[in-house]
Structure 1
């Protein structure tokens, strides 16, 4: 190799190391950038010509910077609901325009915030894309799952949930067994009262008040009656106090098995009774056959022939009319079943109180599930999925073309894109309230910086030496 060739080779080394230094400086500068992928510099030797005898004419080296797109960074929690991190394989799909009429890009920079119009946009100005879901949780529209055109910008403004009336309720309570023992002292009328809210057809909150009174006999020589009356009062019916007679919508008496019935039946409902006008218990019929109806002549209210509620022995529900004429089935338990109303030792305790329905609700917060569903939580306590975020999967993610804002253009080298639900197939999962940090390791970059500095200095020394040799050769002519 001549001195000129040495000069040329060392100059290529200086250029290559300067190229690597640019990559290192970019990595260090972006070590705190969300979703940033480090630049790795690869060198290749240059050969002008070679022969079969093994002789070559060397021409130095060239450096190529390559973005490590497929190398993931550490996921860190942020506590901000609209932040999204991808765990594993896949990219979030974003668009340059809020109307999804721009270019679709892939990114793992998930620091999204709502803009003035409620569109989720990240710090680079790219808008998050997802499949819009209806109130039934199904996609709106009929485009295919793998179609980018099926995506739309995720928008969380003007999101609300309609009210829905209560259509079923469960009320189980344990009634203290000691209170049905014979006594000359009667318990207070409102000693055992519980109120449960429900929603009417307009979404307004109403209240059912359950009042229980033990049947106490005056003859202290008789055993416990093991009977209770249950009255149900409706705030949407009548006037006056919560337990005013005009608000009464349900009335029934219950008899419970005593301790002689055995462990499986003791304390469970033995029979149901209607109540006549004077409040005296009147047995409705044989527990095994006719309890589903009310015998003629035994009313539960002012009208002797019209009962306040009907009992279904199949599912253990007492159906009453609330808010005027709306039928509301209330699960109080089947006969002989421990799953329902009971009379056991201990205090009065509502054991299970459940109801459906909801009031009108406004959006309070948005969160992201592991499967990419964007969940809206409303002021009425209800929640539902409003969007499905899809992950873009590529056969060769490193073939994507990097653009500004830590996003990537979909290219031929990356292969055809597939849109998958998070956690489906080889797609990763999503984490709400978290971000993927840069995959840059500062220690590694500082080590590379020192190596690059020394390599650059060594190439510079070769240039100086070659220059001196050429100068000596020039002086030989003098």
Structure 2
């Protein structure tokens, strides 16, 4: 009968508004929680229908949804490992329990976090979320990884007390060789140049280069030099020697024309480099002398000898000074020698429906059937935003809006209680008919 359905509708209204009161309470309680995403409660009417001229009340039911897609305001901080997303996407994390137990890490994701190295160097939050990334190669490059699985992701570990060196892998030399020294009547002495480099153990070594002019042309300048390279780590043995000749045309005068190997690896005309086997053949260095016709590298003009543009990579052993994560997700460690090394690459996780993610403790989420499968992007590429250091994402709770909802929910709850009270009075009247 309609009077009974009215009571059931009133009870469903009390239940629905109690549920909404719960979400409002959570939203207000987490108004200052970094990364919190507010929860919305939706009301849906339940239609039973009309039969025999009497209307049967169906009542109401609720559904709740966490609005993960809504971005919170970015709040600046004073620490480089306070991270937040500036657009779509999330940071990949796992639980500390998975890391310490040695189990396969469960992929979780979060929008923001205050990450700090713990006693074991694991980069984690106070709530136990561990930041994950792809380890880089020794030169800081990222190997090929699968983007639709988390198998290659590893917990980020910062080894603060381990010295790190960066062996030299490339030396670039730019110098002017005096053209007049290749004449038959010139002094013809060898011109020396020393280049310091760093070995595999961070030791300082030297490449001793000599440029000897070829004076075999009796009619003028030969424009040819013999270059010899010796390595201090190989008992000053010759590791490379080659002959260079220079163009004397009007268009390309003074630039490299030919490079002929005498001893060691050949010259690569595409890159302008020669590979040197140094440190008793335990490591290699690319020596860049320039390409044919280029304005950089070795040149020959009628000017004094000037090795003015010599550079190399690498650094001696140094201690860790600081760690920062840039907008592209690169975990860069800076050492007291000035060496900066990329240790990890932190990708950005994205799913087709972020609002379908399942919330877990610590403002983290995990994929679900409703969210769809995840994909790992480089930060700032595809649909994803960049990673901001020195930043946290604020809660998306609007206190004024929640208090307004609180007032309307309280009134709605009271009105539904009044329906039950009215139905109770009507049933009491029905009972009194028998008296």
TM-score range, shorter chain: 0.5 to 0.7
2-structure distance, mates of 1:375, 1:120 = 13
1:61 is matched with which residue? 60
| Structure 2: distance between partners of 1:62 and 1:447 | 21
Deviation per CA, 1:211-265, whole angstroms, max 9, x where unpaired?
A: xxxxxxxxxxxxxxxxxxxxxxxxx9xxxxxxxxxxxx9999xxxxxxxxxxxxx
Partner of 2:14: 14
Residue 145 (str. 1) matches residue 144 (str. 2): no
Structure 2 residue aligned with 1:456, among 407, 413, 419? 413
Q: 2:139 aligns with which of 136, 139, 145?
A: 136
Matches within 5 A, 1:32-51: 32-47=32-47, 49-50=48-49
Q: Following TM superposition, by how much is the alpha carbon of 1:436 offset from its aligned partner in structure 2, in angstroms? A: 1.7
Structure 2 counterpart of 1:81: 80
Residue matched to 1:299 = none
TM-score by length of 2: 0.68
Distance apart, 1:40 and its partner CA? 0.3
- Please tell me whether the aligned partners of residues 166 and 358 of structure 1 are also in contact (alpha carbons under 8 angstroms): no
Scaled by the length of structure 1, what TM-score is found? Answer: 0.62
Cα separation, partners in 2 of 1:355 and 1:93, compared to 1, 3 Å = closer
Query: Gapped runs of 5+ residues in structure 1?
Result: 173-195, 207-235, 237-248, 253-272, 274-284, 295-309, 316-325, 343-350
CA positional deviation for 1:110: 2.2
Per the TM alignment, residue 161 of structure 1 is displaced from its structure 2 partner at its CA by 3.0
> Once superposed, what is the RMSD of the aligned Cα atoms?
4.3
Shift of the alpha carbon at 1:441? 1.3
Shift of 1:424: 2.3
Kindly indicate whether the alpha-carbon contact (under 8 Å) linking 2:117 and 2:123 is maintained by their aligned counterparts in 1. yes
Please give the alpha-carbon distance, in whole angstroms, between the structure 2 residues aligned to 1:2 and 1:329: 92
For structure 2, the residue ranges without an aligned partner over 5 or more in a row are 176-193, 228-242, 247-254, 257-284, 290-295
Residue 379 of structure 2 is aligned to residue 422 of structure 1: yes
Match of 1:378 in 2: 335
Q: 1:286 to 1:61 in 2, by over 3 A?
A: farther
Contact 2:167-2:202 within 8 A present in 1 as well: yes
Secondary structure of the 1:59 match is coil
**1:387 match:** 344
CA shift in 2, pair 1:139/1:107, >3 Å = same
Paired residue secondary structure (2:376): strand
1:448 to partner: Cα distance: 1.0
Cross-structure match for 1:209: none
CA 469–170 in structure 1, closer or farther in 2 if over 3 Å, else same: same
Offset of residue 385 of structure 1? 1.5
Match of 1:104 in 2: 107
Corresponding position of 1:164:
167
Secondary structure, aligned partner of 2:59 = strand
Equivalent position to 2:323, from 344, 366, 386 = 366
Aligned residue runs from structure 1 range 327-338, under 5 A: none
Instruction: Give secondary structure in 1 for the equivalent of 2:139.
Output: coil
8 Å CA contact 1:366, 1:377 repeated in 2: yes
CA offset digits 1:361-392 (Å, max 9, x no partner) = 22221111222221111221111221111222
- Corresponding residue of 1:240: none
SS in structure 2 of the partner of residue 63 of structure 1: strand
Match of 1:259 in 2: none
Distance 1:115-1:55 versus aligned 2 partners, 3 A rule: farther
Alpha-carbon separation, structure 2, partners of 1:444 and 1:288: 87
The Cα shift of 1:28 comes to: 0.8
C-alpha contact (below 8 Å) 1:40/1:67 kept by paired residues: yes
Decide which structure has the larger Cα Rg and report it: 1
Residues paired across the two proteins, number = 358
Residue matched to 2:364 = 407
Could you tell me which residue of structure 2 aligns to residue 186 of structure 1? none
1:474 equivalent among 424, 427, 431: 431
